[in-house]
Structure 1
Amino acid sequence: MKSLNRVEISRSALIHNFEICRQRADGAVLMPLVKADGYGHGMIECARIFAEQGAAAFGVAEAVEGVRLREAGITQPVLVLVGVVPQTLPDIVAARLTPVVTDASILPELSRLAGAKGIEIGVHLKLDAGMGRQGVLPAGFVDLVQAVHGSAHLRLDGVMAHLPLADDRQSANSDEVLRTFLKTTAALADCGHGTCCLHLANSGGLFYVAGARLDMVRPGIALYGYYPDGAAGAAAASSPRLRPAMRYLTHIIQVRHVPAGSGLGYAHLFTTVRPSTIAVLPVGYANGYLRTLTNRAEVLVGGRRAPVVGRISMNLTLVDVTDLPEPKVGDEVVLLGRQGQEEIGADEIAGWMDTISYEVLCLFGQLNPRVMVD
């Protein structure tokens, strides 16, 4: 049995987006972010595709994600970006993951565990160059570098920071963060440290911040087909353009004909003003199609837009198809993606939900059966 709801992920779109990021990287290697289950696109499947295209490393949030990648046969370095705490260190060492270190407190135990395995673990340091969220401040950077050098079984492989306003092309903040990062990491030479991978650019940094590419870039949302500044970025993009990789579809399970004056759904938040044809869809907030889309969203039926009407339920959504030609039970309905000449993108849905495309993709991709196509 298959669900009536399905998320389709386009392999060709993922490859296309990877190549665009590679071209923009200007010689820097790519570390795709596959955390959050590949932004809802499937962590393992996406990592395998990106590995085939030449990914140099991968970024995950927690160690458990990195372990899953290793079990799936991914051999590239896997950086654990958050959640490097004492209870995760044994798995990090056993799976030969690369921890991103924010302070020296973790180093003694990490070195001890590596020594017990008879191996050396490479680490990346996280510098807070202006993000204000996590990492060592510039004043403490040299001390942290020296603490790594003083750990018998650890090796400093890289230093990273993050850009807080890379999606705002009018802000001078990214240039300031870049200057702080380069000035602070220049101290590596004074510490007697040789080759070290420096990386700062997320998708916004890759597309919009001159000079931020450095040795490695960390694209996330761009790999999945969306611009970091949303619809504005998509409108301003030049060719070749990113291609959304996710399509979310369902099917009509009932077609109802109701008179004018009919209240629809919980709380009767929509009342028909004419005799109406209503299509019932087996999708709701349990599938990531949130209640905030009530009376706001549109879907595609037969290649044409139709409005969502009435409150979205846990497993049911109503659509007004009065103006469409003879919709039938079993007809495909597209909630996200293209059907015919029409398309509904994650940026548009994010506008209806008062959020960003990242959240839309994670919700839809993680709460529905998913299949890789083409």
Structure 2
Amino acid sequence: MNPSTHPTRCVVDRGRLAGNLSVLQEAVAPAAVMPVIKANAYGHGLVEAGRMFDELGVSRIAVAHVAEGCELRRAGIEVPVLVMGASLPDQLGEGLAAALELTVSSWEGLEAVERAAEVRGEPAGIHLKIDTGMGRLGVAVEDARAFVTRAWDSPWTRVVGLFSHLACADDPDLGSARGQVRLFSDLVDWAESHGMRPPVVHLANSAGALRLPESRFDAVRVGIALYGVSPTTALDLAGLTEGRLRPAMSWVSRVTHVKTQPTGRPVSYGWRWAPQAETRLATVAVGYADGYHRCSTGRAEVLIGGRRCPVVGTICMDQFVVDVGAEDVSVGDEVVLLGGDGSGAITAETMSEWAGTIPYEVLTSISSRVPRHWIQ
């Protein structure tokens, strides 16, 4: 879709994203920053983000699925890529052919990778996933030593990394996260004492990297903070980084219709809103099919000409209505959904509160029909 003709678009600022990477590298050194660009780089654009981080010289990037890693390879991006999710047996051949580093999170998964590697005739680069408390993927921590030994001794695997994932690093109480760090540290110490410590040991996510120095190890997997957004509305990202991380993406649309609405005449599906006095309404060319959450109905606001205006009536699939009052608003005017400067900015954190969700979902819900326009 052509960004110049589509009324709704996301604008990604390369300079801000590169600046965020630099801030995080400084904050976690000597650990390396492993940019996480899964889910279309948190809505910012997978290939563009991958290419930029490759050019900036990061040692490794991370995605969720084999398909994402293969898309990067087809774009000519050669930096090492970790696939963090569990891959199905029928995906392994494609992943290995693309020289992706695969996560192995079970005994069965290890055997499947060995078979796929043997078919190709060369060892597979793998990261071993240990479950220290997330309960989602990984070999149980009590079985981890045997698992590491088995993978290390295999002729068909090359153990590049050892990792786990923090479940509660963004909670106010860091007790459980510190417990996971201790479990993982004990395993790492054991592996090192037995000559089986892989080159890349990693545990921290965005919150862990910034709040728990002991969780950093060799690398930190930073996702949402890299894009200048806090993992939760309760976590003070600006305080943790002295305000140096800045949102890298804005989301804008345009006014397609303006009219005067009489007192008491309802608007949109279900007639959930009507003006208490005559007002002017502007229709905006974006809706829930673009990722603007319908559940934000009755709470959302936008910026038009720098002024905050409420979204009124039910948010529709392709458009919604804004009460602009007496403001001078015309067809074609820009509407800021996410972004802006100063005290009037609309943040992903604020949008997540309107929708009753988390900032991650706000960013990753922006659909593929919204063009991403990258600027310097």
Q: Which TM-score band (shorter chain)? A: over 0.9
TM-fit CA distance, 1:243: 0.6
Please tell me the residue identity of whatever aligns with 1:369. P
Please tell me the residue identity of whatever aligns with 1:296. R
Aligned to 2:333: 331
Alpha-carbon separation, structure 1, partners of 2:38 and 2:241: 28
Aligned to 1:258: 261
Aligned: 1:226 with 2:229: yes
Aligned to 2:63: 60
TM-fit CA distance, 1:233: 1.1
Alpha-carbon separation, structure 1, partners of 2:301 and 2:154: 57
TM-fit CA distance, 1:127: 0.8
Aligned to 1:36: 39
Aligned to 2:301: 298
Is the Cα contact below 8 Å between 2:289 and 2:367 reproduced in 1? no
Aligned to 1:162: 165
Q: SS of the counterpart of 1:44?
A: helix
Alpha-carbon separation, structure 1, partners of 2:296 and 2:198: 50
Alpha-carbon separation, structure 2, partners of 1:356 and 1:365: 17
Is the Cα contact below 8 Å between 1:142 and 1:191 reproduced in 2? no
Alignment partner of 1:350 out of 352, 368, 371: 352
Is the Cα contact below 8 Å between 1:8 and 1:373 reproduced in 2? yes
Aligned to 2:51: 48
**Number of residue pairs matched?**
373
Distance 1:295 1:109, change over 3 A: closer
Aligned: 1:145 with 2:148: yes
Alignment partner of 2:364 out of 352, 362, 373: 362
Is the Cα contact below 8 Å between 1:302 and 1:339 reproduced in 2? no
Is the Cα contact below 8 Å between 2:170 and 2:235 reproduced in 1? no
* TM-score when normalising by structure 1: 0.95
Alpha-carbon separation, structure 2, partners of 1:340 and 1:35: 30
Aligned to 2:103: 100
Alpha-carbon separation, structure 1, partners of 2:166 and 2:272: 42
Is the Cα contact below 8 Å between 1:60 and 1:66 reproduced in 2? yes
Is the Cα contact below 8 Å between 2:231 and 2:360 reproduced in 1? no
Deviates more, 1:107-116 or 1:261-270: 107-116
Q: SS of the counterpart of 2:160?
A: strand
TM-fit CA distance, 1:53: 2.0
Please tell me the residue identity of whatever aligns with 2:150. A
Q: SS of the counterpart of 1:31?
A: strand
Distance 1:38 1:18, change over 3 A: same
* TM-score when normalising by structure 2: 0.95
Aligned: 1:248 with 2:278: no
Is the Cα contact below 8 Å between 1:303 and 1:341 reproduced in 2? no
Alpha-carbon separation, structure 1, partners of 2:170 and 2:109: 32
After superposition, where does 1:198-217 map in structure 2 within 5 Å?
A: 198-217=201-220
Aligned to 1:124: 127
Distance 1:250 1:195, change over 3 A: closer
Is the Cα contact below 8 Å between 2:28 and 2:213 reproduced in 1? no
Alpha-carbon separation, structure 2, partners of 1:50 and 1:10: 13
Is the Cα contact below 8 Å between 1:7 and 1:246 reproduced in 2? yes
Alpha-carbon separation, structure 1, partners of 2:241 and 2:95: 41
TM-fit CA distance, 1:38: 0.3
Aligned: 1:286 with 2:300: no
TM-fit CA distance, 1:120: 2.1
Please tell me the residue identity of whatever aligns with 1:105. E
Is the Cα contact below 8 Å between 1:287 and 1:368 reproduced in 2? yes
Q: SS of the counterpart of 1:315?
A: coil
Please tell me the residue identity of whatever aligns with 2:26. Q
Aligned to 2:137: 134
CA-based RMSD of the aligned residues comes to 1.7
Distance 1:340 1:347, change over 3 A: closer
Deviation readout 1:324-374 (Å, 9 max, x if unpaired): 2x1011110101100686210000000000011111011126441111012
Alpha-carbon separation, structure 1, partners of 2:81 and 2:318: 37
TM-fit CA distance, 1:71: 1.2
Aligned: 1:187 with 2:190: yes
Please tell me the residue identity of whatever aligns with 1:88. Q
Q: SS of the counterpart of 1:214?
A: coil
TM-fit CA distance, 1:227: 2.0
Distance 1:147 1:318, change over 3 A: same
TM-fit CA distance, 1:96: 1.2
